[in-house]
């Protein structure tokens, strides 16, 4: 099999994402981050995974007044700027993108969307961890979505560890999955034909307890298959 190179954006749990996405012997991973000054490495990449982590600074979606609702120790404007630049490159060069948790959120912001800064305060719901462990809940995939096609399921259980989520959708995007109370759990392109894959999920497939779940294994393999086909 021909080698493919996946860029994974840097975060505190980078190794988890890198190990998970490099599940096949033909996959090489490169670390993309401002701390490594490694943006130039994206030129080697055939696809990009935007990892989870800090809250996106609300000034990037024109709601600076939301900053007090963010976890202030968990805001990194340099990372925001770096990943917005990465997303710009992927769209210009037509690279497939896989966004996880914060990766979904920063991608939505990139396309002009906004975020709910704190789900408990704004939606009277809770999707954060429970005593340090991921919460688990049901999601429903949208009919005719790429996510429904990939997973083959109308509903299923995923893990959850976030206090922010999508508010206004970015331009050209559509919801692909929702939680029972209406929190956005997946987004993708409204009109995907002729455009590079944009697979964005709010949960953490890289650390689900059931790694054989279609909401982990299938979405990873689908992303890698798409990258491989584009690189043939």
Q: What is the DSSP string of 68-116?
A: GGS-GGGB-HHHHHHHHHHHHHHHHHT--EEEETHHHHHHHHHTT--EE
Active site residue ranges: 101, 204, 206
Which residue range forms the structural domain that includes residue 39? 4-230
State residue 74's pLDDT score. Answer: 82
What is the Cα–Cα distance from 63 to 115, expressed in whole angstroms? Answer: 9
Closest CA relative to residue 174, chosen from 162, 184, 164: 184
Mean pLDDT taken over the chain? 96
- Band of the pLDDT at 27, cuts 50, 70, 90? very high
Among residues 201, 211, 205, 196, the alpha carbon closest in space to that of 147 is found at 201
Q: Is 105 helix (H, G, I), strand (E, B) or coil?
A: helix
Q: What share of the chain in percent tops pLDDT 70?
A: 100
| pLDDT tops 80 at residue 79 | yes
Question: How far apart, in whole angstroms, are the C-alpha atoms of residue 23 and residue 224?
Answer: 9
Question: 231 pLDDT exceeds 90?
Answer: no
Contact call for residues 122 and 163 (beta carbons, < 8 A): no
What's 174's domain CATH number? 3.40.50.880
Say yes or no to pLDDT of 12 above 80. Answer: yes
Where is pLDDT greater, at 230 or 165? 165
d(CA 175, CA 95): 21
d(CA 140, CA 180): 8
Number of independent structural domains in the chain? 1
Q: How far is CA 148 from the centre of its chain?
A: 17
Q: How confident is the model at residue 217 (pLDDT cuts 50, 70, 90)?
A: very high
* Band of residue 157 on the pLDDT scale cut at 50, 70, 90: very high
CA–CA dist 46, 201 (Å, integer): 20
d(CA 183, CA 139): 9
């Amino acid at each position: 099999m021909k080698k493919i190179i996946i860029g994974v954006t840097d975060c505190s749990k980078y190794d988890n994402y890198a190990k998970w996405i490099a599940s096949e012997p033909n996959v090489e991973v490169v670390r993309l981050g401002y701390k490594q000054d490694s943006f130039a490495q994206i030129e080697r990449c055939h696809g990009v995974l935007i990892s989870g982590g800090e809250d996106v600074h609300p000034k990037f979606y024109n709601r600076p007044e939301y900053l007090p609702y963010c976890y202030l120790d968990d805001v990194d404007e340099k990372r925001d700027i770096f990943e917005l630049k990465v997303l710009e490159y992927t769209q210009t060069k037509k690279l497939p993108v896989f966004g996880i948790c914060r990766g979904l959120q920063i991608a939505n912001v990139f396309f002009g969307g906004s975020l709910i800064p704190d789900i408990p305060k704004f939606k009277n719901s809770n999707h954060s961890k429970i005593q340090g462990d991921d919460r688990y809940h049901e999601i429903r995939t949208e009919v005719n979505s790429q996510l429904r096609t990939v997973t083959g399921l109308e509903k299923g259980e995923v893990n959850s560890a976030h206090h922010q989520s999508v508010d206004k959708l970015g331009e050209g995007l559509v919801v692909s999955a929702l939680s029972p109370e209406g929190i956005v759990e997946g987004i993708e392109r409204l009109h995907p034909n002729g455009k590079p894959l944009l697979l964005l999920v709010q949960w953490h497939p890289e650390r689900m307890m059931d790694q054989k779940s279609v909401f982990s294994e299938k979405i990873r393999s689908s992303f890698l298959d798409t990258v491989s086909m584009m690189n043939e």
